[in-house]
Structure 1
Amino acid sequence: MTMREFYKPKHFLTRELVDKETFATFGESALMFFDVRLLKTIDGIREHFNKPITINNWHVGGPYDSRGLRRPADKTGADYSQHRFGRAVDFNVREMSADEVRKYIIAHQNEFPFNEICAMELDVSWVHIDFRNISHNGIYLFKG
């Protein structure tokens, strides 16, 4: 039996989406843990804003390592966070505040690449998007 290929993001390395331990264990195959809607959406957001986006940057000496997929042993966030299921990312867009990005996404939530986003966190200095199983009558906005 042959293994099916994973969707591979055009604008993000797998290292940017997982922590160091997950990448060391699974390498590029770690993409299998992600909801494809998330991967296609972050590619679309990168293309839409035409600006670099930072998710994890541990691989270049940066401080972020838990803003994509979170292992069960990771103490960051809630036990059942969407990050643990490959359905959430936290990110920043270069030269834009998180509030600017959120406002834009909310105003254009019925357009690609924003139309698959199910939930977004408010009042944080990063943009959290996730793809939880909820009715899709607009983006669910919540405070962590």
Structure 2
Amino acid sequence: MAANVLFTGKTHNAGGRNGGTRSSDGFLDLKLSQPHPAAENLFGAAWSACYIGALELAAAQRKITFPTLPTVDTEIDLVRDGGAYFLQARLNVSVPGIEREVAQTLIDAAHAICPYSKATHGNINVETNLL
């Protein structure tokens, strides 16, 4: 079966980290000025939103209902080691009202479902922490 593209995000960036970026639909229109780490914040915001969707899917697959919606605080580090730059991340996940063992199972499943987690798997250091 062929894969179906569900959505294509289109952005235009001029000037890199010292410029600006705009989405083709106009929803996103940002100035990216140094030293503010807008790129890391955008990546963290997108990843955490996707991750919550993956948590919801993992819960639905197990017929679990969240009494309170989960939250994710994502931290994206831009790291320099010698002359090399790389990213590392922490996803700090809160799943209120769910037993800790069940919540950990959902977090692990969500990390396997989320496209952002899949994209970074094996490429950057990622910690998922149950709060």
Please indicate, yes or no, whether the TM-score normalized by the shorter chain is above 0.5: no
TM-score normalised per structure 1: 0.35
If each structure's strand is expressed as a fraction of its own residues, which one has the higher value?
Answer: 2
